[in-house]
């Protein structure tokens, strides 16, 4: 092994330890964001479908076509998600800042 390989192994071990130490805080942070996501989507199955497709590859127009959600409702939802730090990137192609399982809204 060379010095670079040893260094990479050590850095990976440090990263893994930091993740383990930070896990409770990360879980708590995600729980708050997931609670807010549930609150914003409410009981609307169309909004839930749209949110699950928010991976940064679909435009709002495409989300309206794929889910049947009203364009105005989707626009309002995207603004609310953005305000709550639940979106990253461009609002025209929304992407959730957290991951949620496909069964999240069931």
Output the pLDDT for position 36.
96
Question: How much is the pTM?
Answer: 0.73
- For the stretch 49-94, pLDDT in tens is 999 999 999 999 999 999 999 999 999 999 999 999 999 988 999 9
Output the pLDDT for position 83.
96
- For the stretch 18-44, pLDDT in tens is 878 887 887 687 899 999 999 999 999
Report residue 4's pLDDT band, with 50, 70 and 90 as the boundaries.
confident
Domain-embedded: residue 7: yes
Domain-embedded: residue 106: no
Range of the domain at 89: 3-96
Within the chain, residue ranges assigned H as helices are: 3-41, 45-52, 60-67, 71-83
Domain-embedded: residue 85: yes
Structure tokens at 96: 């959730």
Domain-embedded: residue 105: no
Count of structural domains within the chain: 1
Report residue 102's pLDDT band, with 50, 70 and 90 as the boundaries.
confident
Output the pLDDT for position 1.
63
The rounded distance, in Å, linking the Cα atoms of 75 and 71 is 6
């Amino acid at each position: 092994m060379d010095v670079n390989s040893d260094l990479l192994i050590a850095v990976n071990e440090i990263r893994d330890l930091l993740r383990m130490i930070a896990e409770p805080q990360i879980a708590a942070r995600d729980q708050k964001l997931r609670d807010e996501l549930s609150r914003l989507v409410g009981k609307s199955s169309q909004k839930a479908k749209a949110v699950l497709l928010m991976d940064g590859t679909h435009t709002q127009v495409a989300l309206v076509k794929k889910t049947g959600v009203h364009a105005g409702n989707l626009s309002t939802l995207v603004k609310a998600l953005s305000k709550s730090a639940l979106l990253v990137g461009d609002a025209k192609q929304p992407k959730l800042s957290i991951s949620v399982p496909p069964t999240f809204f069931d």
